[in-house]
Amino acid sequence: MFQSLFQTFDEIADPSQGALRAGLLREALHRRGLDGFVVPRSDEHQNEYVAPASERLRWLTGFSGSAGLCIVLADRAAIFVDGRYTLQIREQVDPKVFDPQHLIESPPEGWIERNLKAGAKLGYDPWLLTPSTLARLERAAAKVGAKMVAVSPNPIDEIWAERPAPPLAAVHLQAKHLAGVDSDAKIARVQQAIEATDGLIVSDPHAVAWLFNIRGGDVGHTPLPLSFALLPRHGRPTLYMDARKLSNAVRDQLMNLADIAEPDALLGDIERLGKAGAKVLFDAATVPARLTQALQDAGGHAEVASDPIALMKAAKNRTELAGIRKAHSRDAAAVAAFLAWFDAESKTGKLSEIGAVEALETFRRRSGKLKDVAFASIAGSGAHAAIPHYRVTRQSDQPIGKGLFLIDSGAQYEDGTTDITRTIAVGRPSAEMRDRFTRVLKGHIAIARLVFPKGVSGAQLDAFARQALWEAGLDFDHGTGHGVGAYLSVHEGPQRLAKTGTVPLAEGMILSNEPGYYKPGHWGIRIENLIVVEKRRIAGAERIMFGFETISFAPIDLRLIQSKLLSEPERDWLNAYHARVRKTVAPLVDPPTRRWLAAATRPIKRP
Amino acid sequence: MFQSLFQTFDEIADPSQGALRAGLLREALHRRGLDGFVVPRSDEHQNEYVAPASERLRWLTGFSGSAGLCIVLADRAAIFVDGRYTLQIREQVDPKVFDPQHLIESPPEGWIERNLKAGAKLGYDPWLLTPSTLARLERAAAKVGAKMVAVSPNPIDEIWAERPAPPLAAVHLQAKHLAGVDSDAKIARVQQAIEATDGLIVSDPHAVAWLFNIRGGDVGHTPLPLSFALLPRHGRPTLYMDARKLSNAVRDQLMNLADIAEPDALLGDIERLGKAGAKVLFDAATVPARLTQALQDAGGHAEVASDPIALMKAAKNRTELAGIRKAHSRDAAAVAAFLAWFDAESKTGKLSEIGAVEALETFRRRSGKLKDVAFASIAGSGAHAAIPHYRVTRQSDQPIGKGLFLIDSGAQYEDGTTDITRTIAVGRPSAEMRDRFTRVLKGHIAIARLVFPKGVSGAQLDAFARQALWEAGLDFDHGTGHGVGAYLSVHEGPQRLAKTGTVPLAEGMILSNEPGYYKPGHWGIRIENLIVVEKRRIAGAERIMFGFETISFAPIDLRLIQSKLLSEPERDWLNAYHARVRKTVAPLVDPPTRRWLAAATRPIKRP
């Protein structure tokens, strides 16, 4: 009945090939006179999701996480991953071949200093490192008298026998009634922002997609067309894109805005700018060192800073917001149908984690509008729910038993990207579960109810999501929220509700509000809605004030709430939220779901 | 009856000399072949309070603020000050001579780029700029083909006819019962922290004072002995200090710990280290560029980072905290006596702002233990209270009228430094005043009641002080709190309750808790206590938890509180705080003050 089309449950890591492949790589390095090679998880755009052809780190080591870096020397190799992956790495990678290291506590720089010999040449692919990462590695190598050597093409591509072809997904235009602003107006706005330079290299494909109002399908779960663009201060931009991705119709439309060139032409164009002494702005977060080097080697001046598009893209316009709200209503209907179904089905004891994921995706597909899931669903029962980034596989799958079930999922619709997490009681929850759930909910409500002046950043607000947990000596080890794109990445910067989110929040920015609590080995809780920064009118206000509009609509499990822990304003918020859920979702679902919804969103009273 | 010994009310700025002195400076620059000169407000240690001999910026321009920088070229000059001083600068400085600029919005770098010509030589005193400030100015000059030239001695000293002599205040030892830890143990601890280097140059005199358990009197309001120290990784430190500041007894004690050398010897010693290829750690916040240059020019490796002493000094030990609590009780008795007196006196309409400052200092002196005030009291009635850094002068003084009176003051005792602000109703306050006061109080209580896990920084907590104001569309434009030293600076880093306070809070750190609200041109409110980070035991806690112990004791004006705006926990906090104030202060004051105190600290009830 249910099936999953947009996500798989295969174990994708295979530690058994590591020794062989490291050996092949070492031979290739030896042939080139190199003493080692750096293999990051990145592609040419520092994407979160990369095309199969760019999964060099996974091919070499077996590691399938979304961030990491391996350094292979002649007699040893190390792989660096962050705290999310310290357990996973030990299952996916052969530690005798690749020594696992903590990316933050024992970073590559220190390892380079300890293991590289004077005179050694450490190779790297200049398309896969940003200038700042490269500079850090170069400083470390220089300290011990070694040096970093750019290597192109990547030696892994030479030994990776069945390397997939680079993706060529069709590009389509994002219509005006979805994008809200024409591409030529966006181009003019960015050109104004870069007036102090001769031009901007757009290296983040999300920024390219926003600028030209295009979407694609080159990587998983995010409608990205992999491409670079060059935007001169004045005049026509150039879009570097494989012509095979463009239908004639799309091509004609794009030619009204830009010159279209093959990706190969990019380096030559940058060198030409360099020879003319141009000052070019590059995006520090995504630009490959290859490009800044090309400009500088030719005599140009590279300014590596923030791409101004990032902030423009983050603040959604009215049209985008209207689409996003529609996408969220549609998504809410699917989630409600799933939750109603789940409440019945989970009682049988026969439902598995994969079964739940397949059902939810199927409910979403029934709208006929689902383009993709926004990420592989996180669906964990019991101890699996305590792993914030758990992905169920055929091996890890288990029946959903009594206790807590956590499901974090999202959808890509043409009019918007969704991301929602609910934690659901299966059977009778313990008092501890209810206490923790209520504290997480208090944090969620604290964020939802905030008002704050313009200029305030997410870093200043994150702690409000934690206070109720702190009061009990508890906390959670991730940020409270990330930015979300408009039919783009479900993880979008620079806005963030976290210590690191120092950018002031602006009207139209979308964030997730997802505090949690995790009891490792036992169970986990997370409650997530998406919120939009909106202007607030307050009588007598002396500042421009903002607040959050919550745009995700699904019942929050009343069986998990200890009403006496909620203040009156918190209860009022919950009841008003549930009334909105009912009003939004009831017209969109079938009668049984509607009945379930009415019960699940009933008002709670003062205890 | 009352008088002030530790602070004056003179107008210290004199704009009328600017043209003449700028002319003298230009002649001096011309003789040296320089096209301009940079005059920062700093001394050789980047101190907040500087000795009169270091007030070069004030002598030249008339500007008396605590931060600023002037650049004088042959045909123009500009003075850069931050937002606190944009009004003051226009009264203190002749704008025809020194063009006032906003330090942040229109920084010196941009001005240099616009005004310096290719080939120009811009002089600077390398003792007065840190390497990072210098580097920023150098980059700007280089962009237009100009360069920065170190000039020594400072040309201003040559033309400043009546320049005061450098200070030579006696140094005394901070006894073990106050410092808590012997200097040799501190030296050993710092040596362990700098093991990766060959030594540390201690350039912050607060750090020197902490390390050797000494105090002095070279600058106003802070018991600093101006001095540098060199701490090698192993072996005896050297303290660079004018011998005339040391009595034989103090000298003999210090010689047990360190070699004592004249300040002139420092450069030679650093050059010797450089010639030996040493790697020396310098404090980025305070080191003069002169010293890092000396090491580098001689061939050494300068590591410019945080002095590890800053964090050690910030976390007070038990003995220091015991002394600090005693100092605060003593101070509280003086503040209570003042407040009781003020309530009676302010009714006459004859009391002036200066009269209030003189009275408060006199009450503090009566303990016989007051060493100095910690800063010039901020005592403002009416519109003056809306200026967060107001300092009353003979010209600005006014009778204290009906409305609000704000007094922010602090004391230096041998056992501790205090800093407290109260806002007091004179006559019947308006509903708006009471609403704002209660919101500020809610912010103050929110900070005081917080519990949070180890690792959290002040930046994550600052917003709790603002939430009640935000809800009404209001805010205040300063941080919620700064660090405070142990009989040292009343403004101590790196701990801070502010956006910029990214250092994790640690046990024993002292901070101010001082939210405010300012209605420019009308009135102002601030409520300030000092708080200490302390460990908290919470049943079932999964993290090491911290909270704040409030150590300042003075009634918070009940006439200004709208009880219905307070939650029950907030009322409970206030009543418990007032009970502690009564218990702490009542035994230390005379019967009339005790009667006033009983009324001022009576419990408030649920409205």
- Give the single-character DSSP code of B52: G
Q: What is the pLDDT of residue B73?
A: 97
Interchain contact, B456 vs A462, CB within 8 Å: no
Beta bridge partners, A279, equal A301
- A476 close contact with B: CB closer than 8 A: no
* Kind of pairing between the strands at A523-526 and A529-536: unpaired
Interchain contact, A472 vs B540, CB within 8 Å: yes
Q: Which residues contact B188 (CB under 8 A, 6 or more apart)?
A: none
Beta bridge partners, A511, equal A483, A531
Interchain contact, B452 vs A463, CB within 8 Å: yes
Pair B582, B601: CB distance under 8 Å: yes
Q: What is the pLDDT of residue B14?
A: 78
Helix orientation angle between B353-365 and B318-345, rounded to the nearest 10 degrees? 140
Q: Of the candidates A309, A260, A314, which has an alpha carbon nearest to the alpha carbon of residue A283?
A: A309
Confidence of residue B84 (pLDDT cuts 50, 70, 90): confident
DSSP A457-518: BGGGTGGGGTHHHHTTT---SS-SEEE--SSS-SSEEEEEESTT--SBP-TTBEEEE--EEE
Provide the Cα torsion A193, A195, A198, A202; round to 10°: 0
CA distance B461 to chain A (A): 7
- Spell out the long-range contacts of A84-88 with Cβ–Cβ below 8 A and sequence spacing 24 or more: A84/A388, A84/A389, A88/A63, A88/A64
- Give yes or no for residue B13 having a pLDDT over 80: no
Question: 535-554 in B: which are within 8 Å (CB) of A?
Answer: 538-543, 545
- Give the single-character DSSP code of A247: -
CA distances, B21 to each of A164, B27, B28, B33, B100 (Å)? 75, 10, 11, 18, 17
Q: What is the mean pLDDT of residues A33-44?
A: 97
- Give the single-character DSSP code of B560: G
- Give the single-character DSSP code of A344: H
Place of tokens 């293999």: A39
Residues in chain A: 607
CA atoms within 13 A on the CB side of A351: 25
- Give yes or no for residue A42 having a pLDDT over 80: yes
Contacts of A466 in chain B (CB under 8 A): 452
Contacts of A462 in chain B (CB under 8 A): 460
Q: What is the pLDDT of residue B251?
A: 97
Cα-Cα end-to-end distance for chain B: 42
- Amino acid identity for residue B209 in this structure: A
Q: What is the mean pLDDT of residues A159-186?
A: 96
Q: How many Å is the Cα radius of gyration of chain B?
A: 25
- B408 close contact with A: CB closer than 8 A: no
Contacts of A457 in chain B (CB under 8 A): 499
Q: How far apart are CA B79 and CA A560, in angstroms?
A: 62
Confidence of residue B10 (pLDDT cuts 50, 70, 90): confident
Tokens of B446: 């929110």
- Give yes or no for residue A233 having a pLDDT over 90: yes
Q: How far apart are CA B372 and CA B410, in angstroms?
A: 9
Q: What is the pLDDT of residue A1?
A: 78
| Shortest CA distance from A446: residue in chain B | B467
CA distance B193 to chain A (A): 18
pTM comes to 0.94
Beta bridge partners, A374, equal none
User: How high does pLDDT run on average in chain A?
Assistant: 96
Q: What is the mean pLDDT of residues B335-356?
A: 96
- Give yes or no for residue B389 having a pLDDT over 90: no
Q: How far apart are CA B420 and CA A89, in angstroms?
A: 53
- A473 close contact with B: CB closer than 8 A: yes
Q: What is the mean pLDDT of residues B219-235?
A: 96
Q: What is the pLDDT of residue A86?
A: 82
Confidence of residue A11 (pLDDT cuts 50, 70, 90): confident
| pLDDT 10s digits, A517-544 | 999 999 999 999 999 999 999 999 999 9
- Give yes or no for residue B12 having a pLDDT over 80: no
Q: How far apart are CA A61 and CA A79, in angstroms?
A: 8
Contacts of B548 in chain A (CB under 8 A): none
Q: What percent of chain A has pLDDT over 90?
A: 94
Q: Of the candidates A475, A471, A491, A472, which has an alpha carbon nearest to the alpha carbon of residue A483?
A: A491
* Kind of pairing between the strands at A228-232 and A199-202: antiparallel
Beta bridge partners, A405, equal A381, A424
Provide the Cα torsion A531, A537, A542, A547; round to 10°: -10
Q: What is the mean pLDDT of residues A433-456?
A: 98
Q: What is the pLDDT of residue A600?
A: 98
Count of Cβ atoms closer than 10 Å to residue B606 Cβ: 8
* Kind of pairing between the strands at B214-215 and B172-173: antiparallel
| pLDDT 10s digits, A480-502 | 999 999 999 999 989 999 999 99
Least confident of A295-304, A369-378, B9-18: B9-18
| pLDDT 10s digits, A266-278 | 999 999 999 999 9
Contacts of A471 in chain B (CB under 8 A): 451, 538
Interchain contact, A460 vs B457, CB within 8 Å: no
Q: How far apart are CA A180 and CA A224, in angstroms?
A: 19
Q: For chains A and B, count residue pairs whose Cβ atoms are closer than 8 Å.
A: 80
- Give the single-character DSSP code of B352: B
Least confident of A528-537, B78-87, B143-152, B566-575: B78-87
- Amino acid identity for residue A331 in this structure: D
| pLDDT 10s digits, A464-479 | 999 999 999 999 999 9
Q: How far apart are CA B547 and CA B412, in angstroms?
A: 26
Interchain contact, A463 vs B470, CB within 8 Å: no
Q: What is the mean pLDDT of residues B141-160?
A: 95
Residues in chain B: 607
Phi/psi at A498 (5° precision)? -165, 160
CA distance A541 to chain B (A): 4
| Shortest CA distance from A452: residue in chain B | B470
Q: How far apart are CA B83 and CA B106, in angstroms?
A: 11
Count of Cβ atoms closer than 10 Å to residue A595 Cβ: 13
Beta bridge partners, A527, equal none
| Shortest CA distance from B536: residue in chain A | A473
Largest CA distance in chain A: 75
| pLDDT 10s digits, B230-280 | 999 999 999 999 999 999 999 999 999 999 999 999 999 999 999 999 999
| Shortest CA distance from A457: residue in chain B | B499
Q: Of the candidates B496, B484, B510, which has an alpha carbon nearest to the alpha carbon of residue B457?
A: B496
Tokens of A445: 């409500």
Contacts of B542 in chain A (CB under 8 A): 473-475
Q: What is the mean pLDDT of residues B94-117?
A: 95
| pLDDT 10s digits, B507-523 | 999 999 999 999 999 99
| pLDDT 10s digits, B434-483 | 999 999 999 999 999 999 999 999 999 999 999 999 999 999 999 999 99
Q: How many Å is the Cα radius of gyration of chain A?
A: 25
Pair A445, B513: CB distance under 8 Å: no
Residue A460: which of B450, B474, B499 has the nearest Cβ?
A: B499
Q: How far apart are CA A390 and CA A495, in angstroms?
A: 24
Q: Which residues contact A382 (CB under 8 A, 6 or more apart)?
A: A398, A401, A403, A404, A522, A523
Pair B66, B41: CB distance under 8 Å: yes
Interchain contact, A545 vs B470, CB within 8 Å: yes
Question: 477-506 in B: which are within 8 Å (CB) of A?
Answer: 499
Cα-Cα end-to-end distance for chain A: 42
- B457 close contact with A: CB closer than 8 A: yes
Q: Which strand (E) or helix (H) includes residue B310? A: helix B309-314
Interchain contact, A542 vs B475, CB within 8 Å: yes
Q: Which residues contact B467 (CB under 8 A, 6 or more apart)?
A: A450, A464, B442, B443, B446
Confidence of residue A88 (pLDDT cuts 50, 70, 90): confident
CA angle A45–A46–A52, rounded 5-degree value: 80
Place of tokens 């490796």: B301
Confidence of residue A389 (pLDDT cuts 50, 70, 90): confident
Q: How far apart are CA B46 and CA B52, in angstroms?
A: 14
Count of Cβ atoms closer than 10 Å to residue A377 Cβ: 25
Contacts of B471 in chain A (CB under 8 A): 451, 538
Confidence of residue B575 (pLDDT cuts 50, 70, 90): very high
User: How high does pLDDT run on average in chain B?
Assistant: 96
